[in-house]
Amino acid sequence: MPKIIVDADACPVKEEIKSLAQTFHLEVIYVASYNHFGANRADEHWVYVDTEKEAADLRIVNLSKKGDIVITQDIGLASMLLSKCTVFSNRGEIYQDEMMTLMLEQRESRAKARRRGEYGKGPKAMTDQDRQTFKQNLEQFLMNLKFLGVDDK
C-alpha cells in the first residue's frame, strides 16, 4: 500500500492531503525542519530534520519506497524521486520525467538571474481554485489506484 510523503515546510495543502488520506486509509508522513515544529500534531506522523539546506529532501528520498506518493514543490527533489514515486506539486500537477530536464534548466536559469541581482515575482499565491485542483487531481489519482487494486489489503 503506498504512503504519502509530504515536503511539509512550505506545503499549503496539508489539510487537503490529510482529508484524502483519511478517505483512502493511507499513511501520511510529513517531513519538516525543526523550525516548523508544532505541538498539536498528535494524530499525524511528523518527521523533523535539522535546518541544513537539503536535510528534508534527503530524509524524503530515504523514506520513500517504490509506489509511494510524494508532494513537493521542489523540482530537484522531484527529479530524484521520479524513478520510484509519483510526485505531485502543491498545485496538483504530476511531475513528468520527460519535462524534468527543461524544468531543471529553467530553475538553474532563475538561480543564475537571482545571483546577478535580478529578482522575479516568484510563484503566484495559492488560491482556493488551486487547492481544489490539487485535491481533485490527487483524489482522481488515488481512485485510479483503488480501481487498479493497488491499495487493497
CATH number at residue 109: 3.40.50
Q: 153 in a domain, yes or no? A: no
Q: 122 in a domain, yes or no? A: yes
Q: 138 in a domain, yes or no? A: yes
> What is the pLDDT, as a whole number, of residue 90?
94
pLDDT in tens, 64-92: 999 999 999 988 899 999 999 999 999 99
Domain count, the chain: 1
- Dmax over CA atoms of the chain, in Å, equals 54
pLDDT band at 146 (very low <50, low <70, confident <90, very high): confident
CA angle 57, 59, 62 (to 5 degrees): 110
Q: 101 in a domain, yes or no? A: yes
Cell numbers given for 99: 519535462
Q: Which residues contact 55 (CB under 8 A, 6 or more apart)?
A: 33, 49
pLDDT in tens, 22-80: 999 999 999 999 877 776 676 889 999 998 888 999 999 999 999 999 999 988 899 99
- Whole-structure pTM value: 0.82
Contact 74, 57 (CB under 8 A): yes
> What is the pLDDT, as a whole number, of residue 50?
92
> What is the pLDDT, as a whole number, of residue 122?
67
Q: How far apart are CA 130 and CA 28, in angstroms?
A: 21
- Which structural domain, as residue segments, surrounds residue 133? 4-148
Phi and psi at residue 10, in whole multiples of 5°?
-125, 25
